[in-house]
């Protein structure tokens, strides 16, 4: 069967690359990118694009009616750092956006829905090392508890209505094509830009703050593998833990210095994002994803750093 795929929030860090990957697999015309903002050149010129605000149910209804998607990816969200500045808006967008899409997916019999969750669903009392799939979850950011509530909605729509919703708890995603969207893990992208442009960077997270991270190639591969997995293999309908690697700003700095020996780093005091990072896991146990859909990351810190340096250098024309 030929798929018709709708991607909501297509202009973001993950959307930009997912649109490209899915257009390569299914053909450009089969993948409709949509966003509230004007798309980047690469998205606008490689296939269909529709403007949509995920909070505007009427426009979304029209999009579902017009395109009859067989798969929907809902990527529009307000991330952790921005969410703390606009808590009510983050809750509204992250929650009501999801419920709109789940309802429309039911109404239009969309075969599969993808919705991303995050390591932000864990909180200060969750185990920090090898954080398991099931444990205490007491997120203390609006982003985190909107994602946790979203996971509950996904599981609920699957249980009550048989909707095939699939989800991953993404770690911090590192990439060079599109800018990250206001998260706590964004330092690990900014650092590469500044290393190449100015040779120095002030990190808003402290030297030994370890967080789970993943290279974009792995994140896209994970997303598509989960969506392609046979339905009977899936045992988790909230959201799957997923791990790539874990590192601190200091460890990342050392790797960058293998490429740019003169690169220097300093550390900011009292950035509000530090408290967010301190409430999150350091390493993740993703054995369920490995078991259910053969998840296996390919990028470690060494490979990620080499790839980021090379691609960013070229894209910045340095
Ligand atoms: N990268 C996200 C953030 O920092 C985590 O999901 O908000």
Which residue in the block uniquely carries the two structure tokens 């960058």?
256
Contacts for 133 with CB less than 8 Å, ≥ 6 apart: 236, 240, 241, 285, 287, 288
Ligand 1 contacts (CB < 6 A) are 79-80, 118-120, 143, 170, 172, 183-185
For the stretch 96-125, pLDDT in tens is 999 999 999 999 999 999 999 999 999 999
Q: pLDDT tier at 313 (50, 70, 90 boundaries)?
A: very high
Q: Please tell me what DSSP assigns to residue 54.
A: T
Report the pLDDT value the prediction gives residue 161, as an integer from 0 to 100: 98
pTM for the whole structure: 0.97
Residue 181 reports pLDDT greater than 90:
no
Of ligand 1's listed atoms, the one at least distance from the Cα of 79 is 7
Helix and strand numbers (H, E) in the chain are: 13, 14
In whole angstroms, give the CA distance from residue 200 to residue 241.
34
For the stretch 119-150, pLDDT in tens is 999 999 999 999 999 999 999 999 999 999 99
For the stretch 234-291, pLDDT in tens is 999 999 999 999 999 999 999 999 999 999 999 999 999 999 999 999 999 999 999 9
Report the pLDDT value the prediction gives residue 182, as an integer from 0 to 100: 94
User: Where is pLDDT greater, at 315 or 1?
Assistant: 315
List residues with catalytic annotation: 143
Domains and CATH numbers, the chain: 5-122+137-173+237-241 (3.40.50.720), 174-212+244-316 (3.90.25.10)
Residue 1 reports pLDDT greater than 80:
no
Total count of residues recorded for the chain: 318
Q: pLDDT tier at 43 (50, 70, 90 boundaries)?
A: confident
Report the pLDDT value the prediction gives residue 214, as an integer from 0 to 100: 98
Report the pLDDT value the prediction gives residue 42, as an integer from 0 to 100: 81
In the sheet with 168-170, reading across from the earlier edge strand, the strands are: 117-118, 168-170, 240-241
**Residue located nearest, by CA, to atom 1 of ligand 1:** 172
Of ligand 1's listed atoms, the one at least distance from the Cα of 81 is 7
């Amino acid at each position: 069967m030929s798929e018709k795929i709708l991607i909501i929030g297509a202009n973001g860090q993950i959307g930009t690359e997912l649109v490209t990957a899915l257009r390569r697999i299914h053909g450009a015309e089969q993948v409709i990118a949509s966003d509230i903002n004007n798309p980047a050149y690469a998205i606008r010129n490689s296939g269909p694009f529709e403007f949509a605000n995920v909070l505007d149910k009427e426009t979304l209804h029209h999009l579902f009616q017009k395109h009859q998607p067989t798969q929907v990816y809902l990527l529009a969200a307000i991330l952790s750092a921005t969410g703390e500045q606009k808590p009510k808006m983050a809750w509204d967008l992250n929650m009501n956006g999801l419920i709109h899409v789940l309802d429309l997916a039911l109404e239009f019999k969309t075969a599969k829905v993808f919705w991303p969750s995050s390591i932000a669903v864990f909180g200060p009392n969750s185990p920090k090392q090898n954080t398991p799939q099931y444990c205490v979850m007491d997120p203390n950011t609006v982003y985190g508890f909107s994602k946790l509530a979203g996971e509950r909605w996904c599981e609920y729509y699957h249980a009550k209505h048989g909707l095939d919703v699939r989800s991953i708890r993404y770690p911090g995603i590192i990439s060079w094509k599109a800018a990250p969207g206001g998260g706590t893990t964004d330092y690990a992208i900014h650092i590469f830009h500044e290393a190449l442009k100015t040779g120095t960077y002030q990190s808003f997270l402290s030297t030994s703050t370890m967080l789970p991270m993943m290279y974009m190639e792995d994140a896209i591969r994970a997303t598509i593998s989960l969506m392609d997995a046979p339905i009977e293999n899936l045992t988790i309908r909230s959201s799957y833990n997923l791990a790539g690697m874990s590192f601190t700003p200091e460890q990342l700095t050392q790797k960058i210095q293998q490429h740019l020996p003169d690169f220097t780093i300093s550390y900011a005091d009292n950035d509000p994002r530090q408290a967010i990072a301190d409430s999150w896991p350091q390493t993740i146990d993703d054995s369920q994803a490995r078991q259910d859909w053969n998840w296996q990351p390919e990028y470690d810190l060494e490979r990620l750093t080499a790839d980021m340096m090379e691609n960013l250098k070229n894209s910045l024309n340095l």
